[in-house]
Structure 1
Amino acid sequence: MVMATTASTAALTSLTSVTLEVADLEAARRFYSAFGVDAYLRLRASEAHSTGFRGFTLGLTVSGPATVDGFLGAAVDAGATVLKPATKSLWGYGGVVRAPDGTIWKIATSAKKDTGPDTREIDEVVLLLGVEAVKATKQFYVDRGLTVAKSFGGKYVEFAPGRSSRVKVALYKRRALAKDLGVPVDGAGSHRIVLGGAADAFTDLDGFVWEASGSLAPTQS
């Protein structure tokens, strides 16, 4: 993914929509409905060229290991490929899958012990953008109106969601993100994701495209 220049300095207060560009719209609709995350996304048919790592992941934070397993199982049953099986780690429990359209999803919980049933409830959805320069991209978004909620130097930044936001946006080093997901860092072409929330369209320092958008709506073309 090549670096891009800014198209506008439009005001931006939060991420209000996430649109995935997919080759097969109907198949993507079926998958995301079965996976259980269709209320958080929009879908758009696209034949844009893309190879390798697209530079982002969508993450679900849930209450416990049983719910992690439930979402991972639903994704695999609907056609997803496992990139990292669910395992315990220092920070909790989680796994990574790639959807049939190529989008990578990470499902995780901070709980290590399985003390409850699979609730199929999502506590938080986070869009994690893999960027080359975290500090520079942080400033880029702050200058456009986003508010920093958490910041760990040049490694990780999380922005505060707006009142109508259902998806948080955060920044992570691209190479570190690829390593965490278990995929090669190389990628080229379109990110195949469009973000909404700005008054006018612009493109960030790593080529992620933003467009004017209202509140997040259910999956649609």
Structure 2
Amino acid sequence: MNNITAAATIDSVVLEVSDPTAATAFYEAAFGLGDRLRVRASDAPTTGFRGFVLSLVVAQPSTVDSLVGTAVAGGATVIKPAKKSFWGYGAVLQAPDGTLWKIATSAKRDTAPANREIDSFVVLLGVENVKNTKQFYVDHGLAAGKSFGSKYVEFDTPSSTIKLALYGRRAAAKDAGVPAEGSGSHRVVLTGGVGAFADPDGFEWEITPA
């Protein structure tokens, strides 16, 4: 396993939206992610699946229900209702700006008082070739953590509050409950110390402003 470089951090996810004021109000009320999630104006054409899903991993089902409830109250659409499965409990939503969100826990029952704490914020990129894109990010200083061959990779970013994972595009869309077809802008930019570039699937990165 490669060692992650000190500069290879992910500081924030920037969503490009048509109405930044409305998007900011929605996300502050729904998830409260603070500076980890920012928005900026964009009218770049985009249709269908944008190639990524943002995931919030929490400790127990009541937290999933709470976050889903505030998001739906703010205008989110339910793509997959919250339910139990062999892996835990979760739901998939689409925010008013079009971004897909998966909210999930590996627990199947509550073991503590209800809360809204988020344990992990994960950016899941749906890519055409997981193996090649994995190597691209390793070459840019990220270390592969969990890896399941050419199907799934999660990078080891211990100094970041945001995690990065790769999944095949069709598998990512299927998991989210949407068709895999889509074109145009991804409408997302990742910022941090990894570098300024576009990856093999066109996902853009920027250096975090000083």
CA distance in 2, matches of 1:137, 1:102: 25
* Mapped contact 1:15–1:168 kept (Cα < 8 A): yes
CA distance in 2, matches of 1:54, 1:101: 12
| Structure 1 position 199, deviation (Å) | 6.1
| Structure 1 position 200, deviation (Å) | 4.3
2:176 alignment counterpart: 181
Verify: 1:105 aligned to 2:101, yes or no: yes
CA distance in 2, matches of 1:68, 1:181: 16
Q: SS where residue 8 of structure 2 aligns?
A: strand
1:4 alignment counterpart: none
Verify: 1:145 aligned to 2:120, yes or no: no
2:92 corresponds, among 79, 92, 96, to 96
The alignment covers a number of residue pairs equal to 204
2:3 alignment counterpart: none
Residues 70-85 of structure 1 mapped to structure 2, 5 A cutoff: 70-85=66-81
CA distance in 2, matches of 1:17, 1:69: 25
Q: Deviations over 1:145-178 (max 9, x none)?
A: 1011111100110111142x21100000110010
Verify: 1:19 aligned to 2:18, yes or no: no
Verify: 1:194 aligned to 2:210, yes or no: no
Verify: 1:43 aligned to 2:29, yes or no: no
CA distance in 2, matches of 1:159, 1:151: 8
State the one-letter code of the partner of 1:31: F
2:111 alignment counterpart: 115
CA distance in 2, matches of 1:49, 1:127: 22
Stretches of structure 2 lacking an aligned partner (at least 5 in a row):
1-5
1:219 alignment counterpart: none
CA distance in 1, matches of 2:138, 2:53: 21
* Mapped contact 2:140–2:194 kept (Cα < 8 A): no
Q: SS where residue 55 of structure 2 aligns?
A: strand
Verify: 1:210 aligned to 2:205, yes or no: yes
* Identical aligned residues as a percent: 61
Q: 1:144 to 1:86 in 2, by over 3 A?
A: same
1:66 alignment counterpart: 62
| Structure 1 position 15, deviation (Å) | 1.7
Q: 1:12 to 1:208 in 2, by over 3 A?
A: farther
* Mapped contact 2:15–2:39 kept (Cα < 8 A): yes
* More relative contact order, 1 or 2 (CA 8 Å, 6+ apart): 1
CA distance in 2, matches of 1:18, 1:37: 13
Stretches of structure 1 lacking an aligned partner (at least 5 in a row):
1-10, 216-221
Q: SS where residue 47 of structure 2 aligns?
A: strand
Q: SS where residue 33 of structure 1 aligns?
A: helix
CA distance in 1, matches of 2:92, 2:100: 7
Q: 1:192 to 1:70 in 2, by over 3 A?
A: same
Question: What is the TM-score normalised by the length of structure 1?
Answer: 0.88
Q: SS where residue 79 of structure 1 aligns?
A: coil
State the one-letter code of the partner of 1:127: V
Question: What is the TM-score normalised by the length of structure 2?
Answer: 0.93
